[in-house]
Chain A
């Protein structure tokens, strides 16, 4: 893939992701605070097509643009970036060398779990600074133990990233003709280099 094409794909997909970030809806009608936004899907597709760094770049640009458009919560945007970046990077790094559906599915499951763990650790670090309270104080206020609170954060992120992976698989199937084109191009480039 040429450099200009890579820049163009990352730009357009970031714009798409920014638009998608505004469409958020609750996963289960019973728990309205569990918001799901599909903006990581374009980032993941870009990561599969143009490499993990391109995917991470889409997450970065989308978060920055969302911050410009809606503004406000700096720390929330930063946490969104770290979670999204780790998810997209881990999902696509193996696929870079081995382009099969099985690899993609396995990497996405691993990335889902690892990113949920990353989110729990981030919350442990950031929440005390943000709320100026220790985690155990918040937990006792909500009548929970600290592990219970962390388990809820973990489950939330597991559902969030799991849903993104679940949606990306069928989309990947439909747009894979584009993937194949870029794969053939890659092979050609390699042949020329040799």
Chain B
């Protein structure tokens, strides 16, 4: 999902982005008034414009959970609070319900937009560095934070490799007559087995190679490790942090 760019949003410290967007998502669940929603949305739109990401691209992620959003909206619409607005056969729509439906739908869309704006403007490697740095601040978590970030970076590197591997095995086993497209459940299970076993054996072998390569390069955990790219807090990060926190506080009280 990451789209490289040189916008002000891309250039922000990834730690700040992680915390800021998390804060915004939590805030939207606590906002009580329509003004609050308006301010939060306005702020998000400013960020989207600043990030120079095409809004249509962001809306694609909303499309992936459209059913959930629709369901939540429809549930609310017929929940039956307040005075009756109009009746249409068996459907009775109440005035209060319309507000609630709008609220729930806009809240869900806000969560999805926030999350995808973060992943679109921050590379996975930056995010795992941010996780390492933030988690490492907690007492006693430094080692675990480093290992988690290490695992995440290696995984990110190997997702495309594994996808290719999986496709090759799938094709090989299909050509040997494995029941991949079987309509019956048991047939499907057999199909999964014939792909999963070689895939897992292959992964274990690959893991062995990676471990050997790490050994050969003298990897020994976080102790004495230096970084090529260091996260540096800049003046614009302070400005953005102040903006986000003041907007969150504003929205919680209006």
Q: Does B84 contact A (CB under 8 A)?
A: no
Q: Does B235 contact A (CB under 8 A)?
A: no
Given contacts A8-B208, A130-B72, A15 and B79 within 8 Å (CB-CB): no
Chain B residue with the shortest CB-CB distance to A53: B144
State the main secondary structure of chain A at its contact with B: helix
Q: What distance in Å separates the Cβ of A138 from its nearest Cβ neighbour in chain B?
A: 7
- Per-residue interface assignment for chain B, residues 35 to 51, with 1 indicating a CB less than 8 Å from any chain A CB and 0 otherwise: 00000000000000000
**Contact of A15 with B155 in the complex, beta carbons under 8 Å:** yes
Chain B residue with the shortest CB-CB distance to A138: B75
Interface residues of B in 113-131 (CB under 8 A from A): 115-116, 119-120, 124, 127
Q: Does B31 contact A (CB under 8 A)?
A: no
Interface residues of A in 1-43 (CB under 8 A from B): 2-5, 7-16, 18-20, 25, 27-29, 38, 41-42
In the complex, what residues of B have CB within 8 A of residue A138's CB? Answer: 75
Q: Does A119 contact B (CB under 8 A)?
A: no
Q: Does A147 contact B (CB under 8 A)?
A: no
- Per-residue interface assignment for chain B, residues 130 to 172, with 1 indicating a CB less than 8 Å from any chain A CB and 0 otherwise: 0000000000000000011011101111110111001000000
| Alpha-carbon gap, A174 to B198, bound state (A) | 10
Given contacts A65-B159, A129-B29, A12 and B78 within 8 Å (CB-CB): no
In the complex, what residues of A have CB within 8 A of residue B243's CB? Answer: none
Q: What distance in Å separates the Cβ of A98 from its nearest Cβ neighbour in chain B?
A: 22
Q: What distance in Å separates the Cβ of A54 from its nearest Cβ neighbour in chain B?
A: 9
**Best-surrounded residue of A10, A16, A29, A70 (most CB of chain B within 10 A):** A16
**Contact of A61 with B203 in the complex, beta carbons under 8 Å:** no
Query: What are 23 of the A-B contact pairs (CB < 8 Å)?
Result: A8-B207, A8-B214, A9-B211, A10-B151, A11-B210, A12-B210, A15-B156, A19-B162, A41-B200, A65-B124, A67-B115, A68-B156, A70-B61, A71-B1, A71-B61, A72-B116, A73-B64, A74-B25, A74-B111, A141-B79, A167-B189, A167-B192, A167-B193
Q: Which 3 A-B pairs have the closest CB atoms?
A: A11-B154, A15-B158, A8-B210
Chain A residues engaging chain B, CB cutoff 8 angstroms: 2-5, 7-16, 18-20, 25, 27-29, 38, 41-42, 45, 57, 60-61, 64-65, 67-76, 129-133, 137-138, 141, 163, 166-167, 170-171, 174-175, 178
